[in-house]
């Protein structure tokens, strides 16, 4: 892969991410954000070839014992004030007979994570893999279950589409809003 093509692939990922961020909030509406991301990257010339989605329920209590048995718990660390809300929920649950706490207006416990990976194939095309994991506590058992949605998406950019991608990125750079706009 040439350095120029490598930069174009990274630029297409950045541009799709910025467009999705402008359209949706990744943590508040993760699947809508993913839809906006996929729609934008398709406009740049990437062709979706596969998509898999799986929803399952993560139960922290069920996963804790195997984690302890494997000895994979991290060493104790200093308190992190960013997790003050989570700490309050855990402590209050212990004093409240493990009853779910009423959510506060400021509480937002959803989370989403995105991982990109790309590789050049034997035929010269580029394969882009996107791994998207999102979850929000179960309203009926917020401390006991965490429904997770895992989406795996694969797109391919053929050798013939390399010049088109470069042209579209150059055109988009002129019309894209600045990241620092509004500061």
| Range list of β-strands (E), 110-162 | 111-120, 126-135, 146-157
Note down the domain range covering 52.
Answer: 3-72+80-175
Question: Which tokens go with 173?
Answer: 């750079």
Q: What is the pLDDT of residue 75?
A: 59
CA distance linking residue 168 with residue 37, whole number of Å: 16
Q: Is residue 180 part of a domain?
A: no
Region at 51 (left for phi over 0; alpha for psi -120 to 50; beta for the rest): beta
Which strand (E) or helix (H) includes residue 57? strand 47-58
Q: 90 in a domain, yes or no?
A: yes
Residue 104 lies in a domain: yes
In a domain, 94, yes or no: yes
Residue range 22-32, pLDDT digits in tens: 999 887 888 89
Tens-digit pLDDT profile for residues 74-112:
556 565 555 566 666 666 665 555 555 565 555 566 778
Does pLDDT of 2 surpass 50?
yes
**pLDDT tens figures, 36-54:** 999 999 988 898 888 888 8
Q: What is the 3-state secondary structure (H, E, C) of 2-41?
A: CHHHHHHHHHHHHHHHHHHHHHCCCCCCHHHHHHHHHHHH
Is residue 23 within 8 Å of 7, Cβ to Cβ?
A: no
**Has residue 182 been placed in a domain?**
no
Q: What is the pLDDT of residue 176?
A: 47
Residue 18 falls inside a structural domain: yes
**DSSP per residue over 88-113, as a string?**
HHHHHHHHTTTPPPPPPTT----EEE
- State the Rg of the chain over Cα: 21
DSSP state of 141: S
* Rounded Cα–Cα distance for residues 81 and 138 (Å): 24
Structural domain count, the chain: 1
88 lies in a domain? yes
Q: Does 183 reside within a domain?
A: no
Residue with tokens 């050049």: 120
């Amino acid at each position: 892969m040439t350095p120029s093509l490598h930069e174009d692939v990274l630029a297409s990922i950045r541009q799709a991410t910025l467009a999705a961020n402008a359209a949706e909030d990744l943590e508040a509406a993760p699947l809508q954000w993913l839809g906006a991301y996929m729609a934008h990257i398709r406009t740049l010339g990437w062709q979706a070839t596969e998509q898999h989605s799986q929803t399952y329920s993560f139960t922290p209590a069920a996963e804790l014992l195997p984690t302890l048995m494997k000895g994979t718990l991290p060493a104790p660390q200093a308190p992190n004030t960013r997790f003050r809300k989570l700490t309050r929920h855990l402590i209050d649950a212990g004093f409240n007979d493990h009853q779910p706490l009423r959510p506060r207006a400021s509480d937002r416990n959803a989370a989403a994570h995105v991982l990109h990976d790309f590789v050049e194939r034997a035929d010269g095309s580029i394969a882009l893999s996107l791994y998207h994991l999102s979850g929000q506590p179960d309203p009926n058992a917020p401390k006991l279950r965490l429904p997770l949605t895992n989406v795996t998406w694969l797109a391919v950019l053929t050798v013939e589409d390399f010049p088109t991608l470069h042209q579209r990125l150059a055109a988009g750079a002129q019309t894209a809003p600045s990241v620092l706009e509004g500061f």
